[in-house]
Amino acid sequence: MNGTGRVFALIDCNSFYCSCERICQPELKRRPLVVLSNNDGCVIARSAEAKVLGIGMGAAYYQVREQMRRHGVVARSSNYTLYADISNRVMRVMAEELAGIEVYSIDEAWGDMTGIADIEAHGRHIRQRLAREIGMPVGVGVSTTKTLAKLANWAAKKWKGTGGVLDLTSPARQEKLLRIAPVSEVWGVGHRSAAKLAALNITTAWDLAQFDIGTLRQTFGVTMERTARELGGISCIGFNEGPAPKEAICSSKMFGVRQTELAPIREALAAYVSRAAEKLRSQTSLCSTIQVGLQTQLADLRGPRYANAVTLALPAPTDDTREILALAQQGLTQIYRPGYPYSKCSILLMGLSRRGELTPDLFSPAPRRGAERLMAVVDQINQKEGRGTVRIGSVPAAPAWAMRREMLSQRYTTRWEEVIGVRG
């Protein structure tokens, strides 16, 4: 046991973006499928069938398009609205089934299984419920430390005999898996670290767990030392009920087509500020400083290149979209230069503090009356009816600068007009 008696579970969705597409499009099941990045640039998710065909992660779409056509691979543009909603549904089920969860990313979360008598049975129950109620396939790995639970999850997905669930709380089972698991599959060990470890004859997770701790600390630092201790069953990474508030919030996307005029860039910036401010309010933070950025495609060596950013201080910490946007538009005017084909603008919210944490400045302007209530209502409507239902007036419903997403599926779960239709 880990000394604390805590039992960690890692529940991880299988090929999350592809699985989300298949939930609402049954015709895609068992067909090779990939999901593309912003502006349909490169492959960011692959189904198991696409992996077998050799479609590489990060491959540029234009380079593999012909290969995909020959093998009947289906491509979908990133549908982040759909993915976020499916993720929220998955996390709600986990929260109902476990004493506590810690969301790790959009497609995985840690769960507290301490005190559960039949761990494997409960893991199978969660897996079956997620498949039945949402249609999401997951892997469940359970052990006495987070690093061991992560490795158990890898094994649960790799070997079908596990049925997608692996209880690795037994020391005997831990040793058996550690002896055969490549060190590169250990949580926190990247390709470069794996190469350096191989030079020390550390090729498996077991080798790392048994290696001299002092040497690891001196050679790789405290993080690798902690990883080795966790593999040895000593819990060094605690369980948190939720992620810590972000210290900075950024919103930025490439334009679908390059923009030379200021007006459409101002529209895009307004949309990005709205999204960033929404994130700011979701963690009950206020912003005191912003940075506005604007750039051309810097990788294009043939065309004119330009990049600039300006940092500005707000009169007082705020989460009011209108206040942040007014200052951001001033910043954009300062850095915009006519004649350049711009590919991207960005907004970065900095100097964040929690609401009620700071004493108000007597000489700063008072916030707009009713601002907090107004922003809360806007967020509630957008959460219920879909992002962008209520938006800043300067942002059009179908902007010319929007990302290229020519293979976008419907937002089946968040837009009434895009709900799945059933024919009689």
Q: What is the pTM of this model?
A: 0.73
pLDDT of residue 254: 85
**Token pair 């061991």 is at which residue?**
148
pLDDT of residue 360: 59
pLDDT of residue 1: 46
**Token pair 């915009």 is at which residue?**
336
pLDDT of residue 403: 63
pLDDT of residue 422: 60
Q: Given this chain, do its domains 8-14+83-231 and 249-385 carry the same CATH topology?
A: no
What's the rounded Cα separation, in Å, for the pair 9 and 113? 6
Q: In this structure, what is the dihedral angle of CA atoms 166, 167, 168, 171, given to the nearest 10 degrees?
A: -140
Q: Which CATH topology does 8-14+83-231 take?
A: Alpha-Beta Plaits (3.30.70)
The CATH superfamily holding the domain 249-385 is DNA polymerase, Y-family, little finger domain (3.30.1490.100)
Average confidence (pLDDT) per 10 residues, the chain, 424 residues? 76 95 91 90 93 92 93 92 90 94 91 94 97 96 96 95 96 96 94 92 96 93 94 89 70 88 92 92 91 88 88 91 94 94 93 73 69 85 74 72 73 70 60
Task: Enter the tokens of residue 379.
Answer: 């967020």
Task: Enter the tokens of residue 118.
Answer: 């039949």
User: What Cα–Cα distance (Å) separates residue 177 from each residue in 271, 359, 395?
Assistant: 48, 54, 54
What's the rounded Cα separation, in Å, for the pair 391 and 369? 19
Model confidence over 175-211: pLDDT tens digits? 999 999 999 999 989 889 999 999 999 999 999 999 9
Q: For residue 186, which of 236, 146, 245, 219 has the smallest C-alpha distance?
A: 146
Q: For residue 233, which of 208, 209, 262 has the smallest C-alpha distance?
A: 209
The ranges assigned to domains in the chain are 8-14+83-231, 249-385
